[in-house]
């Protein structure tokens, strides 16, 4: 029997189990949650540290037991290939087809519907949710989104490349790289707090500046201002934060690529008389081009999906809005139709990148 | 992280030493070339620019009240504002608001299963894709690969309705499940790349000895994969610990992680101005500690799928 059939059988069984567990107010889990004992509280509404740690250990044990049973069941000499593959791949197929594939399709359907205030569908809306997005009122948001997907990858990659080249094979290379790479480990919320003290609003006249940037502006004789409340200044200020986070990633990957440039190519170029900048532009850059493309697309996808910085730092002002943040705002005010349309737009922008990457993958598979 | 390449292969002994020799020669050359003062100067300026904002936060977190909001942090040595750890104790114990220790505990409770479960599932799937031959393998693998780029925004609202239906909403279960689902595609892809690099002869030898796929997976492959698992583990750890979107969508006050705690503090900047920087520093401590101690693995994980070796 074909593997796909086995996987479908596994998914169907899982669906029946999940339906019997859930199934609205009468489901097993629902009944368990209604209980008021210590166990029910610990599992569904833990409040104390003890209950939280208990439910965490329970979750891990439950997972280990289920996986143990599955692996034990398929670990026999004469098990059909389909069952074997279903054992290894079944949980993943269920998680991805239910969690990403099905929910993606359902979001696309929702984006063509209208909803009442309690979140019930009230019929089809055609492209209304989409045309609503592409109006003059949202002009700033669309421009901001374009700025985010182009400026962040280009500038972060450029910074990473320049820095990787500057510190390459110097004595302080490891420490210098760690400094730039550190922001990658910091959450965007924490980064927003960090940059708050750079962009802090201007103080009233006569008082000293609290924000670093305004203090510097005053030092050189300029007028201090609100960096994050105007268009497009606010967006540019937030983009700087994202570049600050992403440059470390770009630098690390590009640095490895630079080190992998074959020595004989460099030597040949040197014999031909290329030095310094010439060498960099006509030998290093063309050689690491595949890596550059990968870094650019990865950072572009990351910035398209980023919502934390705009949400926390941008003060949710319309001048700083981007599609990912508009999605969050729409979903938090219970507008599934609008939120769906925003999510689909993110998906559409990302699609060419998917196609491009699948092609790249096939190419490198072929080389192998 | 988007092309399959085998960069981490262990090379034959002789080749390594020849390469090393060349690298040393080049390093000597590079020293004369790159110690040009403007290049080092530029590198130092960038490094300072990159570190300065974080340094400012650290200084602000240590200043006595109402330090952070009345003068710039770079004035810390001049106008008589002292240093104190009081902001940290206030942030940790909450000082009237919800204590930060609560949020950090929640972050830990969320992170451990959300790292362990997807990695285990991804290892099994990656093994099947790499070493079991079956029809439709390539199509299935490409389907998983494509899932990587699906924005998680697309999945949030439908998932939430499922959690409500199951009665799992506002509990830790919904957060664990979501992080597992969102982490899987990239995990499978990266771990598959590592697995492919293990020589097929090893697996053949085990098969000749009569080992089945489950035995091969645990006894032959797992020990070889420890570095790969560690590198992706750090990856997933940082992503889960630093996440805000999933936390805002699925967590209740009782299950909020530290990122949501900080986000709540920023919206009440007036009263909480003193503890905000300390809270942000506390939120950074765990990921920075993990990151710094395991940096080598992490960088390897980043490079696994992206650089031609």
Determine, yes or no, domain membership for B61: no
Write out pLDDT tens, residues B183-224.
Answer: 999 899 888 888 888 888 888 888 888 888 888 888 888 888
Taking 60 as the threshold, does the pLDDT of residue B16 lie above it? no
Residue A361: band (very low, low, confident or very high) from pLDDT cuts 50, 70, 90 = low
Buried b or exposed e, range A168-200, using 16+ CB within 10 angstroms: bbbeebeebbebbbbbbbbbbbbbbbbbbbbbb
In three-state secondary structure terms, B168 is coil
Measured between beta carbons, the chain B residues lying within 8 angstroms of A27 are 165-167
Note whether B35 contacts A: Cβ–Cβ < 8 A.
yes
- Out of A54-63, A247-256, A292-301, give the one with best mean pLDDT: A54-63
pLDDT at B184: 94
- Please give the mean pLDDT across all residues of chain B: 81
Helix (H, G, I), strand (E, B) or coil at A27: coil
Q: Kindly determine whether residue B120 and residue A67, on different chains, have CB atoms separated by under 8 Å.
A: yes
Interface test with B, best of A5, A27, A50, A95 (most B CBs within 10 A): A95
B116 part of a folded domain: yes
Min Cα–Cα distance to chain A from B306, Å: 6
Interface mutation target, options A52, A190, A336, A363, chain B, most CBs of B under 10 Å: A190
| pLDDT reported for residue B5 | 37
CB contact under 8 A, B166 and A186: no
Residue B228 predicted with pLDDT over 90? no
CB spacing of B212 vs A77 below 8 angstroms: yes
If one compares B286 and B27, the residue with the highest pLDDT of the two is: B286
Would B195 be classed as within a structural domain? yes
Instruction: Report if residue B198 sits inside a domain.
Output: yes
Q: What percent of chain A has pLDDT over 90?
A: 33
Contact (Cβ atoms closer than 8 angstroms) between residue B266 and residue A312: yes
Please report the pLDDT score of residue A54 as a whole number. 94
CATH of the domain at B168: 1.10.3720.10
Q: What is the model's pLDDT at position A202?
A: 84
Render pLDDT for B150-193 as a digit per residue (tens, 0 to 9): 888 888 888 988 888 888 888 999 999 999 999 999 899 888 88
pLDDT value of position B274: 78
On the question of pLDDT at B111 being above 90, the answer is yes
Which residues 107-166 of B are in CB contact (within 8 Å) with A?
109, 112-113, 116-117, 120-122, 124-125, 127-128, 132, 134-137, 140, 142, 144-147, 149-159, 162, 165-166
Residue B14, pLDDT score: 43
Per-residue DSSP letter, B63 = B
Read off the pLDDT of residues A174-224 as tens digits, 9 standing for 90 and up.
888 889 989 988 999 999 999 988 998 888 776 778 888 988 888 888 888
Q: From CA B61, how far away is CA B57, in angstroms rounded?
A: 6
Q: Is the pLDDT of residue A109 over 60?
A: yes
| Residue B11: band (very low, low, confident or very high) from pLDDT cuts 50, 70, 90 | very low
The 10s digit of each residue's pLDDT in A23-75 is 666 777 877 887 778 888 888 888 889 999 999 999 999 999 999 999 999 88
In a domain, B227, yes or no: yes
Nearest to B114 by CA among B239, B227, B217, B209: B239
Span A139-158, mean pLDDT? 93
What residues are paired with A114 via a beta bridge?
A123
How much is the pLDDT for B264?
Answer: 87
Of A81, A180, A252, the CB nearest to B47: A180
Over range B128-132, report the average pLDDT.
91
User: What mean pLDDT comes out for the span A104-122?
Assistant: 87
The first and second tokens of residue A166, run together, are: 């500057």
| Segments forming the whole domain that contains residue B193 | 107-307
A31: CB partners within 8 A, 6+ apart: none
Contacts of B269 (CB under 8 A, 6+ apart): B276
Residue A289 has pLDDT above 50, yes or no: yes
Asked, for residue B233, whether it belongs to a domain, the answer is yes
Given the cut 0.95, state whether the ipTM is greater than it.
Answer: no
The count of structural domains within chain B is 1
pLDDT of residue B20: 66
* pLDDT surpasses 50 at B308: no
CB B158 to CB A103 under 8 A?
yes
Q: Residues near B214 by Cβ (< 8 Å), separated by ≥ 6? A: A71, A74, A75
Instruction: Give the three-class secondary structure for A288.
Output: coil
pLDDT at B85 over 90: no
Span B68-84, average pLDDT:
72
User: What's the pLDDT at A368?
Assistant: 46
Is residue B15 in a domain? no
Out of A84, A179, A187, name the one closest to residue B259 (CB). Answer: A187
* Maximum CA extent, chain B: 77
Angle B152-B162-B237 from CA coordinates, rounded to 5°: 40
Q: Which pLDDT does position B3 carry in this prediction?
A: 38
Q: pLDDT band for position A322 (50/70/90)?
A: very high
Encode A62-72: b = buried (16+ Cβ within 10 Å), e = exposed.
ebeeebeebbe
């Amino acid at each position: 029997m074909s593997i796909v059939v086995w996987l479908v059988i596994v998914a169907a069984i899982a669906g029946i189990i999940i339906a019997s567990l859930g199934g609205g107010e009468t489901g097993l889990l629902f009944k368990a949650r209604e209980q008021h004992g210590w166990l029910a509280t610990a599992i569904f509404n833990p409040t104390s540290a003890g209950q939280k740690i208990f439910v965490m250990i329970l979750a891990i044990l439950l997972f280990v037991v289920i996986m143990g049973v599955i692996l034990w069941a398929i670990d026999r000499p004469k098990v059909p290939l389909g069952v074997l593959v279903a054992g290894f791949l079944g949980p993943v197929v269920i998680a991805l087809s239910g969690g990403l594939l099905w929910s993606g399709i359902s979001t696309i359907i929702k984006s063509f519907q209208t909803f009442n205030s309690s979140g019930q569908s009230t019929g089809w809306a055609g492209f209304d949710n989409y045309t609503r997005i592409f109006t003059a009122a949202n002009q700033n948001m669309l421009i901001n989104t374009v700025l985010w997907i182009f400026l962040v990858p280009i500038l972060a990659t450029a910074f990473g490349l320049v820095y990787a080249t500057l510190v390459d094979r110097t004595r302080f290379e490891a420490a210098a790289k760690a400094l730039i790479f550190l922001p990658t480990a910091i959450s965007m919320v924490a980064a927003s707090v960090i940059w708050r003290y750079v962009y802090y609003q201007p103080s009233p006249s006569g008082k000293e500046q609290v924000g670093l940037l305004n203090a510097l502006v005053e030092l050189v004789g300029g007028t201090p201002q609100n960096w994050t409340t105007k268009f497009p200044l606010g967006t540019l200020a937030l983009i700087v934060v994202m570049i600050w986070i992403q440059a470390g990633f770009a630098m690390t990957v590009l640095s490895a690529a630079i080190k992998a440039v074959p020595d004989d190519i460099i030597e040949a170029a040197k014999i031909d008389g290329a030095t310094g900048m010439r060498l960099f532009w006509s030998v290093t850059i063309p050689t690491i081009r595949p890596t550059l493309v990968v870094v650019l697309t990865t950072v572009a996808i990351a910035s398209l999906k980023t919502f934390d910085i705009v949400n926390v730092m941008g003060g949710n002002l319309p001048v700083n809005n981007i599609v990912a943040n508009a999605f969050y705002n729409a979903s938090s005010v219970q507008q599934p139709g609008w939120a769906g349309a925003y999510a689909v737009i993110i998906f559409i922008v990302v699609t060419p990148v998917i196609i491009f990457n699948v092609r790249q993958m096939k190419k490198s598979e072929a080389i192998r | 992280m988007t092309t399959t390449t085998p960069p981490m292969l262990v090379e034959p002994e002789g080749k390594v030493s020849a390469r090393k020799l060349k690298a040393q020669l080049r390093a000597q050359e590079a020293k004369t070339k790159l110690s040009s003062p403007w290049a080092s100067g530029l590198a130092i300026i960038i490094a300072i620019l990159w570190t300065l904002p974080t340094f400012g936060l650290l200084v602000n977190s240590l200043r006595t009240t109402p330090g952070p909001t009345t003068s710039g942090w770079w004035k810390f040595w001049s106008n008589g504002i002292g240093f104190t750890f009081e902001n940290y104790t206030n942030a940790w114990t909450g000082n009237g608001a919800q204590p930060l220790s609560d949020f950090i505990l929640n972050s830990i409770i969320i992170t451990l299963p959300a790292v362990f479960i997807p990695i285990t599932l991804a290892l099994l799937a990656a093994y099947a894709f790499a070493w079991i031959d079956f029809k439709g393998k390539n199509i299935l693998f490409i389907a998983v690969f494509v899932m990587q780029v699906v924005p998680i925004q697309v999945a949030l609202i439908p998932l939430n309705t499922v959690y409500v239906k199951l009665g799992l909403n506002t509990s830790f279960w919904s957060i664990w499940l979501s992080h597992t689902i969102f982490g899987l595609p990239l995990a499978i892809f990266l771990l598959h790349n590592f697995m492919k690099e293990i020589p097929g002869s090893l697996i053949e030898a085990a098969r000749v000895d009569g080992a089945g796929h489950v035995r091969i997976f645990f006894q032959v492959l797992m020990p070889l994969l420890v570095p790969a698992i560690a590198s992706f583990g750090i990856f997933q750890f940082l992503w889960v610990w630093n996440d805000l979107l999933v936390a805002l969508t699925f967590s209740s006050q009782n299950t909020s992680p530290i990122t949501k705690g900080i986000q709540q503090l920023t919206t009440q900047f007036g009263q909480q101005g003193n503890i905000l920087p300390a809270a942000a520093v506390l939120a950074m401590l765990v990921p920075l500690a993990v990151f710094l101690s395991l940096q080598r693995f992490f960088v390897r994980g980043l490079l696994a799928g992206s650089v031609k070796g």
